[in-house]
Amino acid sequence: MTEEEAPKSRPVVRLRPKAEARAIRHGFPWVYADELVTDRRTQGLAPGVIATLEDAERRVLGTVTVNPKSKIIARMLDRDAEAVIDRDWLAARLSRALDLRRRLFDQPFYRLVHAEADGLPGVIIDRFGDVAVVQPNAAWAEALIGDLCAALVAVTGVKTVIKNGSGRSRGLEGLPEETVVLCGAIDGPVPVEMNGATYMADVLGGQKTGLFFDQRPNHAFAARLARGARVLDVFSHVGGFALACLAGGAESALAVDASAAALDLATQGAAAMGQGARFATRQGDAFATLEALATEGAQFEVVICDPPAFAPNKQSLDAGLRAYERVARLAAPLVAPGGYIVLCSCSHAADLVAFRNASARGLGRGGRRAQLLHTGFAGPDHPMLPQLAESAYLKSLVFRLD
């Protein structure tokens, strides 16, 4: 540790008098730009710098990382103002996260780090056996990516670490988009076993980290309903719900997605499971495909719609809720009498009540009466920070239709 990195040598940033210091003391991890004194000295700090946070009365609140370019100008790293944010500190946080996942899962396929909820703000790490994909979505993690990679290898024993530097969050932090193999090598999609299914994760070129672990428990619930059923999986990505349902005994599954590459990976997964004959794909716009299937008179005992985030922020909430309602309306006629529909949202701006109401409106406008059977959320490898609603983003609603 250099003299500049020592806690006593760090810059100090201070909350404005009207800022809510109580929320920070009670566990809220963020300071917004309008809550911090942003004088010339603070504005001149390099993105990702480590600093000491004080309240307006100069009482110390903890160790934060500061990015003057971001609306979230400071993120709490440690309540201890003397904490040294180095490789050992990172290893300790990773070890704590790994202990939880080892208790939850028999195989090393899971989200290892879920950002603020695991004490590493803005950092996502998904593990695929000996491969780990890191999304450093905050400037401090980008600055310490070398130490983070080394700590990750030391703690978990993974052989390959990939930095996935893409997505909206990095843009908000002023970070460039890039995907880099930090150590090891990768020569193709990684097979991942989950809920009895085999998924092919494109960890270099796929969406996000290549696979969505968050839906694992919802996949399992849908698979129970799908025994002996015809299944339609819309917005299927690499076959998330469809392959789980086939593993659970579905008669057949049709996966719909706009991405030909994703559907090709889904087909590879079905073949690896020995289920290729019962699996089919249809590439195209989801809304147009739902309308086309209705025109064709198609019926399925189980229909699943797991779209991308239609409401990623408050500004897009109204439009997003209309889109969720439209999905439900178009999908409803495709469900056979007495069948089931699973509707999902990964939009943190649309809370559970708003999403449930939009879904119910859509089903009603689609001419169906519904029973709500089950409400699902992300799996336990995606823990929620109670003070941060954004960390609980995933909702899954299961209805039975008359």
The residue among 112, 35, 28 whose CA lies nearest residue 70 is 35
- Catalytic annotation, pick one of 149, 245, 305, 346: 346
Give the span between the Cα atoms of 13 and 42, in whole angstroms: 7
Is 346 an annotated catalytic residue?
A: yes
Give the span between the Cα atoms of 283 and 126, in whole angstroms: 27
Instruction: Tell me the backbone φ, ψ of residue 135, rounded to 5 degrees.
Output: -110, 100
Q: How many CB atoms lie within 10 A of CB 88?
A: 11
271 by Cβ neighbours in 10 Å (0-12 / 13-18 / 19+) ranks as: middle
Instruction: Tell me the backbone φ, ψ of residue 316, rounded to 5 degrees.
Output: -100, 10
54 neighbors 14 (Cβ within 8 angstroms): yes
Give the span between the Cα atoms of 251 and 39, in whole angstroms: 64
Write out the DSSP string of 17-56: TTS-HHHHHTT--EEEGGGB---HHHHTSPTTEEEEEE-T
Active site residues: 346
